[in-house]
Amino acid sequence: MKKFVLLLVCYLTVVFGNNSFSQDYYWSSDRKISIVKDTSILLIKFKEDHDFKSTWDLFKDNKTTHKNILMEEKKIAIINITDYDPSKLEEILNNSSSIEYYTPIFKSNNTPLYPTDKIILKPKSDRDFSEINRKFSNYFSSFYKNRYGVYIITLNNYSNLIPVSNEIYESNLTEYCHPNFIVELQHDNDPLYPEQYYLNNTGQFGGTVGIDINVLGAWNSIGTFSGECNINVAILDDGVENHEDFDGRVLLGHTIGNPTGFGAPGAGSAHGQACAGIVSATHNNELGIKGVAPYTNIIPVRILGVAADLIDIADAVDWAWDEGLADILSNSWGLGPGNCTLTGVDFNNIIDAYDRARDQGRGGLGSIVVFSSGNHGSCISFPRNINGVITVGAINNNGQIWNYSNTGPEMDLVAPSGDTDLNGNVRTTDRMGNNGYENGNYTNRFGGTSAAAPQVAGVAALMLSVNPNLTEEQVRTILQQTATDMGPIGFDNTFGFGRVNAHAAVQAALPTISGPDYLCSTTTFTLQNAPVGSTVSWTVSPNHLFSGSTSGNGTNASLSPASWGTSGQATLTFSIEGDCGTVESSTEFWVGRAISYIEGPYDMAVNTVENYFATGNPYMGITDYQWSVFPSGYHWIGNQGTNGITLSFSATGLYSLELDVVNPCCARGSEIGIYVYNPWEHFTLYPNPTSDILHISLDLEARGRGGDQDFEVSLYDGQGRELIPAKQAHQEASLDLSRIPKGFYYVHIHYRDALLRRQIRVER
């Protein structure tokens, strides 16, 4: 039986691997999304006008192990071929008149993607769908456009789904274009996660939306976490044991005074267990909570609840970073209040131990040391005030500092937490059964700065998961510089540098890309400090801006502009695959000379002033704007050298306004024509002289029917007194002068930006 199944899998691999389905990516959000084919699972599409129930019953009758899926409204079935006798399955697939087609499915980071025969695309704003249809219509069976300008394409061959969608996107005609996959929507399956306001504050418990550590963005930027990620977080506390939400990631640790204690908690101890859950609880396992950094390993170092002297404490610290290989040391403990003044306790051996951790841990890169600030509502005491450790205070879910949270110049960061003494509202892990705070596996009552520090330790673990090459100082500095400022602007003794911001910290931790901001000729971009042992690939888009390769492997990407006339903004993305999963680091740059167009009127009245502007964006790197007019000698330009000028002409005629913009790749020109006219040429006043009605008309033939046809007219005497107030007119107007004494008067016409003044005579 196994041999037959293997042969069938091989057959499907060959059949579907040799056609266009073999492409291993699709485009979304301007980047390639990797996919893999799973030939052990088949999608079966039944014909729309056939009764498929009898065929479906055949699959049900032959199923042995896995659960089949029937999407009845879509007439689609999903089966696992390992459940079936190969000959029986082949007979059903090839002989059933109700089957339209069958195909393997795809997966991306273990997420099933069920292919269809449809593509979704949106043309670029300056492109018409007819261009796409003209170029790719031989692949289309039908299409329609929805109310939002999105086109749904049905293909005439489902096996073209991936290559055609990729080819359309890479033609640079669309904003996006990707396959229409069927996906499985799932409920969030960490049941207590909705109550973890410190991770995602949606207003739980009367809190303020957004007062959290912004970890969702960090998780999304990392993508799927890998179980091979070996980031070790030591919890120096009263012990940690394995738990259903740790998935076996509690390693053998260290217990002061007990060589075989291995960091396990004693009777009634649960504080370290709660801290560990905040750091490392597993995601999406239908249990409990979400940790800030899932799949990190926990190293329990029990220093509380045992008889310990200073040597024991220092030894425990040294064991954590040296023998325990801890990348991060999370400390929610101290030596009590009042030890923060010049006369407070201070122990060099403990300072030395933590300094060694920071200097020598992680093979010389330095282990990161995180401390809670303490819950005494006073100054920050030893050892929380050791120079170089990251000291974390607590705010409530509305962003206010807790009255118990110690503060002072040693503060670095704050994180959301609840009240102390098990009166809090932080959801986290408890010891299993009735050994901890509750008669269950989780507690809802944790809080204090003890719950704040593990959040920062978890964020540091996320940073190391995307870039294990970071030094201790770099991690500490990034955490400080990316924090969300609170209280007075800048650092203060209450909030330190602000609320820890996981997403910003992870983004700043990614390996950087060196290369120019402007690509003028063939140049190499380099991913700096790629993690040792990682696999690096790169891709650049949009493809039409480049000649040569637009993707490759390794930390160097050699890029060349497609031609001298090529210009546009591009994005280079390096994908870094390591033990912790795959992360991406991107940089944007401008290819070629700047593109700028002139905005302003195409006609203007002589001896008036108009404004003209150069379009462009900061990515182009424009350093100079040079404006000129041809023929010259009859114009005046104000603000030369800037992106906005004022322009005036002293003579009528047709002129060319020209603009040269300069960026590091040289200059590029553009121009527009400007017609300068005398407004009086377009107005007729009659009869003049007059004794009754004066008519004013705009000559449409001379002015052009597409021009402005509105004006304003009024009458003044020789002393400048207004006799007939201004009134609006369209194309023509009349002034009743029957009550005006004989003499000379002045008609004022406001047309566009010009004031026209003409003398008339009234006779009696």
| 481 and 539 belong to one structural domain | no
Task: Indicate if 66 belongs to the active site.
Answer: no
> What residue type is assigned to position 452 of the chain?
A
| 274 and 365 belong to one structural domain | yes
| 321 and 396 belong to one structural domain | yes
Residue 162 lies in a domain: no
Residue 351 lies in a domain: yes
Whether the link from the prior residue into 687 is cis, omega within 30° of 0, is yes
| 699 and 657 belong to one structural domain | no
| 448 and 517 belong to one structural domain | no
Residue 128 lies in a domain: no
Residue 171 lies in a domain: no
Handedness of CA 211, 214, 215, 220 (dihedral sign): positive
List, in sequence order, every beta strand (DSSP E) within 554-692. 556-561, 568-578, 581-591, 598-599, 603-605, 609-614, 624-630, 635-638, 644-649, 653-663, 666-677, 683-686
Residue 256 lies in a domain: yes
> How confident is the model at residue 223, as a pLDDT?
59
| 487 and 539 belong to one structural domain | no
Fill in the DSSP letter of residue 383. T
> How confident is the model at residue 610, as a pLDDT?
92
Which of 729, 746, 754, 731 has its CA nearest to residue 683? 731
Question: Looking at residue 24, which CATH number applies to its domain?
Answer: 3.30.70
Question: Looking at residue 383, which CATH number applies to its domain?
Answer: 3.40.50.200
Last residue in a domain, options 632, 648, 677? 677
List, in sequence order, every beta strand (DSSP E) within 8-167. 25-28, 31-34, 36-46, 69-71, 76-80, 99-108, 111-113, 118-123, 140-145, 151-155
Question: Looking at residue 574, which CATH number applies to its domain?
Answer: 2.60.40
Q: Given 117, 237, 238, 245, which residue is catalytic? A: 237
| 71 and 200 belong to one structural domain | no
| 30 and 75 belong to one structural domain | yes
Phi first, then psi: give them for residue 316, nearest 5 degrees: -65, -40
In angstroms, the Cα distances linking 581 to 24, 460, 462, 553, 644 are 18, 16, 11, 17, 49
Q: Given 178, 254, 271, 283, which residue is catalytic? A: 271
Buried b (16+ CB within 10 A) or exposed e, 750-760: bbbebebeeeb
Under 8 Å between Cβ of 42 and 102: yes
| 443 and 423 belong to one structural domain | yes
Which of 717, 721, 730, 683 has its CA nearest to residue 703? 683
| 355 and 221 belong to one structural domain | yes
When divided into structural domains, the chain yields a total of 5
Last residue in a domain, options 644, 677, 710? 677
Buried b (16+ CB within 10 A) or exposed e, 652-683: eeebebebbbbbbbeebeeebebebbebbebb
Q: What is d(CA 702, CA 523) in angstroms, rounded to the nearest whole number?
A: 56
- Domain with 79, as residue range(s), is 1-115
**Residue whose token pair is 């402007």:** 518
**Assigned token pair, 286:** 């239908």
| 583 and 611 belong to one structural domain | no
Residue 173 lies in a domain: no
**Assigned token pair, 35:** 């996919």
> How confident is the model at residue 587, as a pLDDT?
94
Task: Indicate if 271 belongs to the active site.
Answer: yes
Question: Could you tell me where the DSSP H helices lie in 200-256?
Answer: 215-222
Task: Indicate if 503 belongs to the active site.
Answer: no
State the pTM of this model.
Answer: 0.64
In angstroms, the Cα distances linking 230 to 58, 249, 251, 295, 533 are 47, 10, 11, 8, 13
| 556 and 616 belong to one structural domain | no
Question: Looking at residue 729, which CATH number applies to its domain?
Answer: 2.60.40.3080
- First vs last C-alpha separation in the chain: 119
Ranges of the chain with pLDDT below 70: 1-22, 60-67, 71, 73, 109, 111, 148, 183-191, 223-229, 307, 336-345, 700-707
Last residue in a domain, options 549, 575, 591? 591
Residues 6 or more apart whose Cβ sits within 8 Å of residue 633: none
Residue 144 lies in a domain: no
Q: What is d(CA 613, CA 599) in angstroms, rounded to the nearest whole number?
A: 5
What is the Cβ-side half-sphere exposure of residue 254, based on CA atoms within 13 angstroms?
Answer: 22
> How confident is the model at residue 431, as a pLDDT?
95
Residue 90 lies in a domain: yes
